[in-house]
Chain A
Amino acid sequence: MTPDQTRLQLTAFVLEDQTGLTLVEVCRACAAEPEMVMALVEEGLVVPSGAAPGEWRFTGVHMQRARVAVRLQKDLGVNIAGAALALQLLEELDSLRARLQVLEDAGR
């Protein structure tokens, strides 16, 4: 197997800044069925704008949360409520780590 060499120039997006994502796009990014993403919406784990699933618009933050929730379910065997709890705790942990970092930096 001789590896090929290619060089590509790409446009990078910040996932969290993206808006107006459709259910189809979120399903694709999560490699999940619409039913799965709809269940996440039902649980309140992601809250899209728009009334019906066809009109739902998600943000990049929603998409990232959905991706993590789907992975936690597949890989750790937790249910949606468990994934929602894990996500909430992870987000709290992140903000605590960020605050700790600031305090440690200020004290050095």
Chain B
Amino acid sequence: MEFKDYYESLGVTREATPEEIKRAYRKLARKFHPDVSKEKDAEAQFKQVAEAYEALSDPDKRAAYDQLGANYRAGQEFRPPPGWDPSAQTGAAGFGDSSDHSDFFESLFRGMGGGARAGGHSGSFDMHGQDQHARIQISIEDSYQGATRTLQLRMPAVDAGGGMRTQDKTIEFVIPKGIRAGQHIRLAGQGSPGIGQGSPGDLYLDVELLPHRLYRVQGHDIYMDLPVAPWELALGAEVEAPTPTGAVELTVPAGSAAGRKLRLKGRGLPGKTPGDFYFVLQLTQPPADTEAATAAYSAMAEAFPSFKPRAHLGGQA
């Protein structure tokens, strides 16, 4: 396995005081904490920082790390010395919890105890497994139709003999209809395994909606710009337009202004109280690039002698 330079992870020197280490950790934790951060790979970055802090904030662990790591550089092949006796640890609830340690950390510190942060489970080693988190990107159509998704997961698992091994899992689920950005999909029992008789943790997926070429999502309502010609606005028209649930025929009422919203009630994202679908009328006019077109615009100008589009500006019209 690769040697990890925990001092480098925190951006401090090997001579850093405990206070300096704590300050460096807190600063990076605020930057990369997955609940707060929009940084790419925030969770992975945060775990690395949290692991470095866990190693360097404990005087015993830091001493052991300094002793063993003095001759290593980051990324160098590292083999733990013989005589490090592993023993079980328990987890905590943060993102930087001890079940997510790297192999490097595990091989170095497993014999030194941990889990001082876990409490309230006295008299039993049974413990609920850790929850796992991931992000999932979903299209607006997926939210409408509830598409089937498969996820590949590599997870630690407990075998019959009580040992740990890696398990590749493919899980298949249907995206709940009407799901919105910022919501979470919960897959019960798909987190880390529990300890002893403890039940496994859950898998939480943070939902992101992919931007769409035509549709904009606001809560559970969908908006779409619908281009219309000047005469369609003025005279009214029957037009065909796409929606995620199929094309619809709709009536542009005569005398509509640009920007008018036409609502299809209940045709937004599905749910107990489904959202609405809105067409926003966008005025599009043809260019005056032929003789006939120029003549038509001239005729229009003559037909509206009292039309003063800038009258409300207060100046000369």
Contacts and interface: CB of A to CB of B under 8 A. Distances in A.
Interface of A: 1, 3-18, 28-33, 60, 64, 68, 70-72, 74-77, 86, 90, 94, 98, 101-102, 105-106
Nearest to A13: B186
A8 to B, nearest CB: 5
B218 A102 contact: yes
A75 B50 contact: yes
B171 interface: yes
A102 B181 CA distance: 13
Given A10-B187, A12-B186, A90-B35, A28 B170 contact: no
B208 to A, nearest CB: 12
B131 A29 contact: yes
A4 B167 contact: yes
Contacts of B185: 12-15
B178 to A, nearest CB: 8
B254 interface: no
B275 interface: no
Nearest to B215: A105
Of B128, B167, B184, chain A has the most CB atoms within 10 Å of the CB of B184
Interface string B58-100: 0000000000000000000000000000000001111110000
B231 interface: no
Contact of A76 (B33, B167, B170, B172): B33
A105 B187 CA distance: 32
Given A3-B166, A102-B223, 11 more contacts: A9-B172, A13-B176, A14-B176, A14-B179, A17-B272, A31-B91, A74-B92, A74-B94, A74-B96, A76-B33, A98-B218
Given A13-B188, A14-B183, A71-B94, A105 B175 contact: no
> Looking at chain B, what size class is its interface with the partner chain?
35 or more
B260 interface: no
Contact of B168 (A4, A13, A17, A71): A4
Contacts, number: 128
B128 A8 contact: no
A9 B95 contact: no
Nearest to A89: B36
29 contacts: A3-B167, A3-B168, A4-B165, A4-B167, A5-B168, A6-B170, A7-B170, A7-B171, A8-B170, A9-B172, A10-B190, A12-B174, A12-B175, A12-B176, A13-B176, A13-B188, A15-B186, A17-B176, A17-B183, A29-B131, A31-B93, A60-B186, A72-B36, A75-B95, A75-B96, A76-B29, A94-B182, A105-B216, A106-B216
A103 to B, nearest CB: 10
A63 to B, nearest CB: 9
B93 A30 contact: yes
B170 A10 contact: no
B154 interface: yes
A59 B183 CA distance: 13
Contacts of A76: 26, 29-30, 33, 36
